[in-house]
Structure formats: C-alpha cells, structure tokens
Copies of this chain bind each other. A is one copy, B any other.
Amino acid sequence: MGSLPLEEAVPQPLDPEAFSDDSHAVLNFLVEYYRDVDKYPVRAASLEPGRLRGLLPDAAPEWGQPMDAILEDVRRDILPGLTHWQSPSFFAYFPMNASSAGFAGEMLSAGLNVVPFIWAASPAAAELEGVVVDWMGRLLGLPRGLLFAGGGGGVLQGSTCEAVVCTLAAARDRALGRDGAAVLARLVVYASDQTHVTFQKGARLVGIPPANFRVVATSAASGHGLTADAVRAAVEADVARGLVPLYLCATVGTTGVGAVDPVRELGEVARRHGMWMHVDAAYAGSAAICPEFQGYLDGAELADSVSMNPHKWFLTNADCCCLWVARPRDLTAALSTDPEYLKNVFSCSAQDDKDVIVSAAASAIDYKDWQISLSRRFRAIKLWVVLRRYGAAGLRAHVRSHVTAAQWFEGAVANDERFEVVAPRKFSLVCFRLIRPPGLFSDDTDVNDMNRELLAGVNATGRAFMTHFVVDGKFVIRLAVGGAATEMRHVRDVWDLLQRVAGDVLRRYQS
C-alpha cells in the first residue's frame, strides 16, 4: 500500500484541461440561459411539491457522469422548477442581482478558493476586503467614523441576518460587561412593525427574551417610518419598569413598502438611552450611491453600525452584505477566539505569542473575529470586480434607471382611476392596489380578495412575478424594480398585463 502512486487512483479534480472543458460547457449553458431567460415563466412553471424529488434517484450514482449529461438534466428536470430571479420581469420580493462582473467575481472567488479567516491565511484577501468596504462606505456617503480610514471599519458577510446577530451580540456583551450577567433578561430591543423579521429572529438567537422585543407601531402619517416620539415613549415605559434599552433598529427602505425611518432623530434617542443603533439599508443602501438619495442616511454618524446588501440591487451575485461598525472593538470583543491552531504573529490577539513566523505587525485584520463563522469565502474580490468593471457612474446609472422606471409606473397607476398607490414611492418599489369599484363591496375584505385575484392572475400568466404585503389592513401588490436585465420595456409590459388582468377581474365582479 505504502507507495501506491496516487496518480493512478484519483480523478484529477483540478486538471486544467478537464477544468476548462467542464467550465466551458457550463458557460455555454449560462449564456444560452441568459439569452432565453425572458421566455421562461418567471415564477416556477411547476409548483407541485415533490415533483423534483420524484424525478431523482434515492442515492448518489456510483460512477461519475459527463458534464453534458448533468447539464441536460438541469435543463430538463431543474429549470422548470426554478423561479427565474434573473428574468427581466421578476418584480417580487427584492431583486437579487446577477451581472457579468458579479459572476466574474464569483468565478475568481470560487476558483482561487482561499479562506481569509485570519489575515495570515491569505493577506491580500483580507486587505482587499478592508479596501472595498471603505470604497463602498465612501460611495454611500457614510460618515468617516464608520470607515477604517476613520477608526471604524467594515466586513463582508453573507446576509443582513448574520450582521444583525453579530451587532446584537456586540451590544449585548457590552451591556453584560457593564451591568453584569443578570441583566440579560432585562435587555430590550426596539424596532417598528415594518422592520424586517430578521431582527426579531436575531434577538431571539442571542438570548434576548422574546417578550423584550418591542414592535413599535407606525402609521401612514409618517409614511410608515418609525417616529422618535414613539420610540421614546416605549423606551421610557420600559425604563420605568426596570428594563434596560439595548438596541434600536432604524431601517432605510423597509421590505414591505420601502419606508424610511428618520436616522438622525432615532439616533438621538438611542444616544440618550445608551442604546446601540443599527441602520439597516439592505435594499435602499444601493440607492445612496446617488447623491440625491444620501439624505436618507443623514445622521448615520449617530449609528453604531450600518449594513446594506450589494447582492440585492448592486449587481453583485449572492451572497454579499456590507456591515460597518463605529467601534470594531465592540464587535471583536463579542466574536473573537484564539485557538492554538490559528496562532500567528500577525494576529492582534497573538501579539505576545512567540510563533512560527519570525516577524510582527499590528494592522492585519482577522476577519473571523468580525463574523459568526470561522471559515469564509473571498467575497471581497467579487465586490471589487463589480466596482471596477462598472465604476461608480455605471452603478449610479443602473440604480437611476430603475428608479425612473418605478417613477413611470407609479405615475401610470396614479393616472388609472381603478387603482391607487398605497404608499409613497421613495426608491424603486411601488406599492399599489385596485380600489373599491363604484357600487361594489361592503368592506375592505372584498377589496383585498379582488387584489389577491389580480396578483394571482398576473403571476399565473408566467409573464411577470410580483409579491404582496399587507399594510393598514390593505392587501397591496409590490412591484420591486431592480433586476439586472430589467429595462423600461419590461415595466411597461407588466403595466399592460396588470391592466388587462384587472379588467378581467373587475368584469367578473361586475357581471
């Protein structure tokens, strides 16, 4: 056994020629996919649970199969069961942009496949991350205190949820350090009834009692933004009961209707009560690369942390979430580890250790201490390629083109007396519905049913896909413009489609 030549036994999984052949086959598949993607039904053609499971065998094959056969199965078995998030007529949820540059970045990340968990494990990967988060922060007009250049700093994570867990843990551990372990049961997290549910999940994950998660009500009067008065009242009531305000989430561009919480006013409340304030700009943060949208982040110097997702509307394939913090020390105090197998002289935490590399320096960042996980992908190169390939000007044009299209759509809805715009549009999300037809229906339940039918009817055509929200008891249809391939003509098409299906629905009710 001892000297069996491995060469004879292994499938040579990184042979450059085999790699090239397989990769080219996939590339051709994807080029064809993008060429045809607007012809597929946007929402999965098949919505029968168990369909794919029924098509596939119960066990992995014993012998390897050629790539062409695998791709043929993708085409036949998998594509019909996918919702095509890259279709130009995908207007559901929020967009999840793919792009040539984002894909190129993913190829580099996956191909090099380095693991920058500590600086020493791939220095350039860690440093590039520091550079691109500063670049992004500058593009968004963030205060200098959130950049490395100003004493703060940033990290690329996989999702807002991860960023939320990390910042909640940092805030929690700061409080435990100050007030003792027993305070945990008295810590309170504040958000609005429009805040993403991930904050509630994150708070529960880090041990905040679910009863201590305050969902503060918003209303149409503030455009469904969280008012400082409402937060102040909730905080004061809690303090009076002996509870300890911990964390406040302000959202710029909520998931439901794209509402904006007033960052500066909320920041002042947070400061007064010693709370950590996080600004969640997951979707709308992309818009802030345009000066005309940067006002929504005014007051961010009062935030302890800010996050946004380039993987939504910023041409950066999944996954990629930027998190900036004002005091990296708070984050690393909650998330650092220092196991023997990773000790090296470059890590700040190991400065006093004698080690294998005979050199020393301080500025090397160990990003494992800025996130939940130890291992991590080289996401920085992806965001860097996107920024280099399109440039700030190209990315602004991308964002503005969608805002313009949403603006056009909003106008079209407003000009059709059968419809109403339910919440004022700020970015590229339009929330609208059919109003109560003259002489029909006794209450809003029927109006909601009618709009459900409209949405179901549009989605069933396969020519567009939108999702819904409920605000103030109203079922509203959300048109989230932002797909990488979405052009004005697709927005015009979906409006034509909506008008046609609405006509059918109304005729059914009126007959």
Contacts and interface: CB of A to CB of B under 8 A. Distances in A.
A242 interface: no
B13 A390 contact: yes
Given A14-B99, A135-B59, A354-B452, A407 B2 contact: yes
Contact of A197 (B61, B339, B489): B339
A122 B85 contact: yes
A110 B317 contact: yes
Nearest to A66: B389
Interface string A369-412: 00011111100010001011111111001101110110110010
Interface stretch (A112-120, A231-239, A266-274, A300-308): A112-120
A20 interface: yes
A229 B200 CA distance: 40
A168 B100 CA distance: 39
B67 A104 contact: yes
A181 interface: yes
A123 B46 contact: yes
A115 B60 CA distance: 24
B373 A127 contact: no
A209 interface: yes
Contacts of A161: 372-375
Nearest to A134: B58
B74 A108 contact: yes
A128 B205 CA distance: 28
A64 interface: yes
A15 B172 CA distance: 46
A284 interface: no
A511 interface: no
Contacts of A335: 201
A388 B73 CA distance: 11
Contacts of A92: 121
Contact of A364 (B49, B64, B311, B377): B49
A315 interface: yes
A49 B388 contact: no
A279 interface: no
B205 A169 contact: yes
Interface string A90-131: 001100111111111011101111110001111111011011
A70 B388 CA distance: 7
Interface in A293-339: 311, 315, 317-319, 334-335, 337-339
Nearest to A358: B456
Nearest to A339: B197
A401 B113 contact: no
Nearest to A176: B209
A159 B375 contact: yes
A450 B401 CA distance: 64
Contacts of A374: 159-161, 196-198
Contact of A114 (B83, B139, B387): B83
A217 interface: no
A451 B252 CA distance: 55
B7 A356 contact: no
A44 B110 contact: no
B389 A100 contact: no
A49 B361 contact: yes
Contacts of A359: 47
Contacts of A122: 44, 81-83, 85
Contacts of A218: none
A377 B244 CA distance: 37
A346 B488 contact: no
Nearest to A115: B96
Nearest to A7: B487
A251 to B, nearest CB: 13
B456 A357 contact: yes
Nearest to A182: B185
Given A81-B124, A98-B111, A197-B339, 9 more contacts: A12-B485, A13-B315, A30-B111, A92-B121, A98-B110, A162-B373, A165-B372, A181-B209, A200-B337
19 contacts: A4-B404, A6-B405, A10-B487, A14-B98, A16-B35, A23-B31, A27-B107, A47-B120, A49-B123, A49-B346, A59-B135, A60-B392, A70-B388, A110-B318, A160-B373, A184-B207, A205-B205, A341-B467, A354-B452
